[in-house]
Structure 1
Amino acid sequence: MKTSSIIKILFLPIVLLFLFTSCEKKKQNIVQKIDNTAEIKMLQEKANDFFNSGKNDSSFFYFNKVKLLCEPKIEHFDEFVHSSVMMGNILQKNGDFYEAETMITKAIPYLEKTSQPKFTINTYSSLGYNYYRTYDYEKSLNCYRKALKNAVSTFRKSSEISNIAFIYVQQKKYKEAIDLLEPLTKRTIIDKVVPLNTHAERASKLYHLGLSYLRLGNHQKQALDCFNESLELTLKSGNDFELIPNYYALYLYYKKYDNPELKMMNAQKAYDCSKRSKSMAEQITTLGNLIEADDVQNTRKHWKAYIRLVDSTANSMKIAKNQFANIIYDSKKDKEENLELKNQKTEKELQLQIQKNRSTILYVIIGIVALVSLFLAYYLTAKSKKEKNEAVLKSEMHISDKLHNELTNDIHNILMFAQNHELDNIENKEKFLSSLNNVYAKTRNISRENSEIITDRRYIDNLKNMISQFKTSDVNILINGLNDINWVKIDKHKKIVIYRIVQEVFLNMKKHSDATLVGINFKITERKLIIKYTDNGKGISINEINKNGLTIIQNRISNINGETYFDSAPEQGLKISFKIPV
């Protein structure tokens, strides 16, 4: 395995730790899901029951509770949209149309995530009515058209078409309203979901169609037929509030076609229905019509009742508005407190999740580091063993080569001498012993060359002794600076390499240079040990260095990031410099 690969493996845990630290610095919205479906369903049922019984304040309170539980609107899109629209409808009933618009439009971004088209239809239909009450008829038409686009059943489509026609009536586009309503009133369209709505919806369409005929003119009979059928259908429901517009329509009809008696009768019936339904707003409207329709004798009585109603209604509306404003304020305050609690809870959950993530990632990193450490231990042990074996093999081959090159011929000559000469002869015996002594000396030298190198405080003495062995009567060796070096601070491996290259230089000198004077100098400059060797031997061509044993020296120096410089020429001696970082 290459060193770069080992570095990458070691770098992996550091990268993981860095990523973990970076992730810790980023806050994430970690929200633990809580299943509150049952609570939402229970609260929504309460809100619907209060709404159907006319208790709008209680209904608004519970719809608000549902809405808060649905936020952040995960998995409860239906309930969130329904609650928003119903709260908007309650605000409309209390005359707060601008607040209602804000409430209903909050549901629009989530319509695509609801489970049924009815939520989309109800949202746009309620918003269309809201724009009608604020006299923004174009926006109202746009909303009703969107509701129509999403409607599936025939009944719901006809209902939205009727709403569009109603806006046309407000815009005095009576012909366009008639074109839409006439086809719808040719037959009864049944509401299969809530059958009771069938007659009420048809009565509403006939009412709008009758108004369009009345306002357009030249449709006297068609208008009266529509009003009468609408009244007949509404009477079946027994709802006084729904009867008010029917009698009001007949009041308008007889007012236009100049029948004072029937005009006054229908104005009176409308007023009576408004009193029974306890709708003060409708009472004021219908009483105003009755003042206009009745004779002069009753006008004064009606005016007194009208003034009392206006004053009472103003006070009631003020009280109701204040009460409802308190409900809205409480709901907003409740929402803020709810969000604050959610934020605190989310913060705690975030800290717990971060702690959990930290523990998990640390365990992963520890595991990876452990695995990498085991792998590196195994790898380095195997590599060391392999290198040791290779070094032993290389040393054995080197010793074998030396023994073969330096001793084979000598031993062969000794054996031949012993065979061909009488060893009893003193001269022959002395030559034989001298030859044996030379073989012994060469063997001892080879042994010393490959013996273990001592690197402790005795290193300098061993190095001197090794160099001195090459000094003879014909070779003079000068050593400078050896004692000036603090060898204790130099790496053990580098001291072994230095020992071997000095030994190799002197062996090369002994074999090839025929030098009589050799100098070797040691010094440290700029954190580098510089060794300079010179001799006055026969030298060597630079081009022949690679063929010479000096290549061993170059290789040894390179292995410890050192540098080697040669300066030599035939008959001009040899100069070698070594620079070794220490």
Structure 2
Amino acid sequence: MHYLNQKYKYTNCFYFRGMEFKKVPFPNHIFVLVFWVFFLPFYSIAQISNDTIRYYHNAITNPSEPLDLPSGIQFFTKKKQIDLKTNDTLNAIYDLRLLSIAEFKIGNNFNSESHIVEALDLIQSMNSRDTLINARVGLYNQLGRIYRASDNFSEAIKTYDKALAIANKLNDSVVILNNKANIYKDLSEFNNALAIYTLLNEKHSLLNNDKQKSLIIDNLGNIQAKLNLPEALENLQSALTLREKNSDIVGLHASNTHLSEYYLDKKDTINAVNYAKKALSLSNKINSNSFKLESISQLMGMNKNPLIHEYRKLTDSIAKAKQVAENKNAFLKYNVAEEQKKTQASKLLQEIESRKRLAYQSLALVIFLILIGSYFIYRNRYRKAKIEEIYKTETRIAKKVHDEVANDVYKLMTSLENNSNIDNKLIDEMEKIYTKTRDISRENSAIDLNQDFGIQLNDLLLGYKNSNVNVITRNLSKVPWYTIHELNKTAIYRVLQELMTNMRKHSQATFVTLVFKKVGSKIHINYLDNGVGCDLSKKNGLQHTESRIASLKGTIIFESKQGDGFKASIII
């Protein structure tokens, strides 16, 4: 399992736990490299010795000479080609994983990412892909490192979470959590990073790997230094000692870099420069361009020359712009390609079922929509028909009251007036009855909606104006009444008629205002008088007004107190 403890570097891989690697003297590098370049194509995979594979594995995971990484890349590139030709997919995945690590250490992030994608693609093509947990965990972890190096922190965290979701070994989980904490450190979310490093430090006693222990202690010290915690220096020095004991060159580079940062933050330039130079020396041994760049950049940052700082600023800006331009994100391409493969593989089998299901679903949806539409249409028509029937009934009753009751009362009054023996009080009472029947007839008589409704409504309201009552309307003529449904106009007419009649009979008001406004498709009417008010708990005849408005899905709100006038807000 491999891991990283800074943005571009500090990587260790463990494939053969408890195994010693054979060290080959430096001159042999050239011989072996020439051998594999010219003669490997003529040999089968069975002729590659395990010692040779182990040697180049170690050259990539623990490089100590300048040619380690280039020779490892050359070897495993050829080996991958042979493994693919012989359909040895497992070894091809192993080759791609090492190639990705080597390219990443050199600084070729895009090539590193491409190798990971190719390996994931091979795993996905295998029937036993669900059993290749270790390989998938390692690949996701490596991919997270690449995203981190590309400043794609959100994708890096998602990828590490994928690895954590399937990891089933403590050492693997420790590595992934460490890398995830590094992301939080890059984002300056130091408290989140500290929480993970502290947890890992508590668990490191369960590990039998000194490199992982030193990695955890070093990263914990580094983040403690960022938070000015007193334990920082002790942990950084402990990690350095442990790495010196194990000759961990990559780890020593990390420790010296972190100690340089620590002393630089403490304004101790002498120690900061000393440790930075040690880190640069180690990066030359590792032969990693990204390691060298980081060490040189750190030394340049301690130089007081303003031109150097300007140069660093410009090179960082150019490098970042280049990285954004070249970040092709092969893993996301892999996801798209994989989905396309799945779709093509199942297309023939699913096409008939899909069409049937679509047809049934479409038919069911159409029937459902027809039923829903029919229900609402029927309910709306029924509601309108009921309201229209109510208005017709009111009009019919009003006409009967006028034609039959009022006329009969009037005839009776005329007859009684010609009879001198009849008491005048009786005639007066009969006249009151006649007046009431006439008023009822007028209040519920038919409304001619073919005429200008605004004029009719204005005539209705001003009809209640006299020497004692002043009626004022605002914006009535500005309302586009032709856009309002006839049922709504009828309801407005009747409701205002009832309010004005109620005002004349009971309120003793001297001043009435009505303000009209159209908001969207709704008409807003605010009624106000200065009468004696009323007790709304009794409602009197207001229930009929409320039900008339509610039947058209409108609202009417009354406000009144005894002696404090009467208000009504209508929305319809």
Q: Give TM-score scaled by structure 1 length.
A: 0.39
Which of the pair has more CA radius of gyration? 1
Q: Give TM-score scaled by structure 2 length.
A: 0.40
